Amino acid sequence: MPDQNAQSPTLVIPSLTPYRTLYHRTQQVRSRATVAALAVSPDSGAIEPGIDDLLDKPVFGDQEPHAQESFDDREHRDWQREDGRLTNSNVGVLLKRDMRCAPMEAGMAYKTITGTFLDEITHDIASQNWGEKEWTLEFDTMVEAGIDTVVLIRSGYRERLAYPSVAIPEHVRTLPVNEDLIDLFLRLCGPRDIAFFLGTYDSGRFWHNYEWRKEVEINRAFLREAWARYGGYPAFGGWYLSHETPDTSKRILDIHASLAEEMREISDLPILISPFFSGRLDPSQVSLHLDPAGGRRSAEEHVEQWEEYFSRLGGLIDFCAFQDDTAEMLDLEEYVSASAELARRYGVEPWSNLESFDRDVPMKFPPLDSRKLIYKLETVQPYVNKVITFEFSHFMSPNSMWPSARMLYQRYREFLASERTQGQAEPKTGRIL
């Protein structure tokens, strides 16, 4: 057990820029002991404003923090490790795995949408049938929109794959693959300084049937294959655990822990999850999760479930972006506040997944009403470190198949130019219910 009387860690928090932030990797691996120390005293610890840099490690007691380095110093540092897993080729776009988990302080810049999922496996939204030309235009549009992070939601779903895998078809039957979308996205990310997070494979079957070991077995083979194929790309910035959950059911703790540990064996890239709240009645989830009514969980019940999750996965995952439209809109702040405080307690940085599609209409799925988007963006400001969206290309992009997506982008840009985004968010810390 950590010493209850030990001096609280002092964290040096970087100043933030409104739109684009260049992230760097650290060689410091967060330990479970550090996470445990955070869990004992989540509200203590001095927060010191730093220069536009990220600290190398948490500082305890009388230890001195690592000397601050200039951007050029870091950019040219030799990051090669003896095991060959880290190279300086992808330093420029990797997210550091430090303690960046302090709640928002007064004076921080307004958090715009700086990340998006990519969904071209096409699970439950229509394909736009884009080729390289259309995707190139789209990535240029993302840069214009201030996006510095993209997350491929999954590398495969059921029989459909995003790349010509050899490993996955050894376990499940798959359709032919005519293009390597992962290669395409990584090539487009590189020159645009966009960090690319790679999602895992979702069988859509084994884990729902509690055959969790089979799900893990397939994904271990996938992870090794994916790292061998794509690990050298400069834009490869992180992993995404694609198995989404509102709770600890379906052996998700075992699945996520096993895959996160495998990812740590392969690389030191950060790991993102994007679960959901179950904070609203959603008939579409009746068949997917334990609640036979597809019913609503209170914020207190939500915290209970995620206390168990973070106590197991804290120290393995880095970022958690709850899907914001899975709580009733008027209750969103209660869920986000409690979730952010809980995540920070276990050393996990809270993000928000601002869903830019509309769940409140009887179809899957149109772009969101701009008033809802602005409300949700404003609500999460004091609590999260970053806002990403599902999903820019379909629901917000001027290049989208949806005319209303183009209009949503226009309303969003107008909002960013308004006086409301120029002010500074009030400091809030959230609370555990």
Query: Amino acid letter at 380?
Result: V
Residue 396: pLDDT band (50, 70, 90) is very high
User: Which parts of 151-251 fold into alpha helices (H)?
Assistant: 181-189, 212-230
Q: What is the pLDDT of residues 22-31, one digit of tens each?
A: 343 332 333 3
Position 322 scores a pLDDT of 97
| Cβ-based neighbour number of residue 281 at 10 Å | 13
* Mean pLDDT, rounded, of the chain: 78
Q: How far is CA 415 from CA 143, 158, 375, 421, in A?
A: 18, 39, 11, 7
Query: Amino acid letter at 154?
Result: R
Q: Residue 51: CB partners within 8 Å, gap ≥ 6?
A: 14, 15, 68
Pick the residue with more confidence: 101 or 247?
A: 247
| Cβ-based neighbour number of residue 426 at 10 Å | 9
Cα–Cα distance between 302 and 87 in angstroms, integer?
Answer: 40
Classify residue 264 by its DSSP letter.
H
The interaxial angle of helices 403-416 and 370-380, nearest 10 deg, is 40
Pick the residue with more confidence: 132 or 430?
A: 132
Position 362 scores a pLDDT of 76
Tokens of 130: 């884009």
Q: What is the pLDDT of residues 53-78, one digit of tens each?
A: 333 333 223 333 333 333 334 333 33
Phi, psi (deg, nearest 5) at residue 317: -100, 160
Cα–Cα distance between 301 and 123 in angstroms, integer?
Answer: 29
Tokens of 383: 């609590």
Structure-token match 């095991």, residue found:
83
Residue extents of the structural domains in the chain: 113-421
Is residue 168 predicted with pLDDT exceeding 90?
yes
Which of 47-56, 81-90, 266-275 is predicted most confidently?
A: 266-275
Tokens of 49: 């404003």
CATH superfamily of 113-421: Glycosidases (3.20.20.80)
Is residue 257 predicted with pLDDT exceeding 70?
yes
Q: How far is CA 357 from CA 113, 155, 390, in A?
A: 14, 22, 7
Mean pLDDT calculated for residue range 297-320: 95
